Amino acid sequence: MIIEKVTVEDATELLSIYEPYVRETAITFEYEAPTLEEFQNRIKNISAKYPYLKAVDNSEIIGFTYANTFKDRRAYDWAVETTVYVKQGRHRMGIGKLLYEQLEKSLKNMGILNMNACIAVPVKEDNYLTYASYHFHREMGFTLVGRFHNIGYKFNTWYDMIWMEKIIGEHSTFVPEVQFGKWSL
Q: What is the pLDDT of residues 127-160, one digit of tens each?
A: 999 999 999 999 999 999 999 999 999 999 999 9
Q: What is the per-residue pLDDT across 7-65, written as a single tens digit (0 to 9) for each?
A: 999 999 999 999 999 999 999 999 999 999 999 999 999 999 999 999 999 999 999 99
Residues 175 and 69: their CA atoms lie apart, in Å, by: 18
Using 50, 70 and 90 to split pLDDT, how confident is the model at 93? confident
Q: Quote the pLDDT of residue 54.
A: 98
Helix 11-24, helix 36-47: angle, nearest 10: 110
Residue 122 predicted with pLDDT over 90: yes
95: pLDDT confidence band, cut at 50, 70 and 90?
very high
**Band of pLDDT at residue 73, cut at 50, 70 and 90:** very high
Predicted pLDDT of residue 2: 96
Of 27-31, 53-57, 90-94, 169-173, give the lowest mean pLDDT range: 90-94
Average pLDDT over residues 56-77: 96
Question: CA 71, CA 81: separation in Å to the nearest integer?
Answer: 9
Residue 91: per-residue pLDDT:
85
HEC string of 39-81 equals HHHHHHHHHCCCCEEEEEECCEEEEEEEEEECCCCHHHCCEEE
Residue 94 has pLDDT above 90, yes or no: yes
User: How many CA atoms lie within 13 Å of 90's alpha carbon, on the beta-carbon side?
Assistant: 18
Binned at pLDDT 50, 70 and 90, residue 182 comes out as: confident
pTM assigned to the model: 0.95
Longest pairwise C-alpha distance within the chain: 49
Q: Which domains, and CATH codes, for the chain?
A: 2-167 (3.40.630.30)
Q: What is the mean pLDDT of residues 98-113?
A: 97
Secondary structure string (H, E, C) spanning the chain? CEEEECCHHHHHHHHHHHHHHHHHCCCCCCCCCCCHHHHHHHHHHHHCCCCEEEEEECCEEEEEEEEEECCCCHHHCCEEEEEEEECCCCCCCCHHHHHHHHHHHHHHHHCCCEEEEEEEEECCCCCCCCCHHHHHHHHCCCEEEEEEEEEEEECCEEEEEEEEEEECCCCCCCCCCCCCCCCCC
Residue 117: the pLDDT is 98
- 111, 176 contact by CB (below 8 A): yes
CA–CA distance, 173 with 144 (Å, rounded to integer): 25
Q: What is the CA radius of gyration of the chain?
A: 16
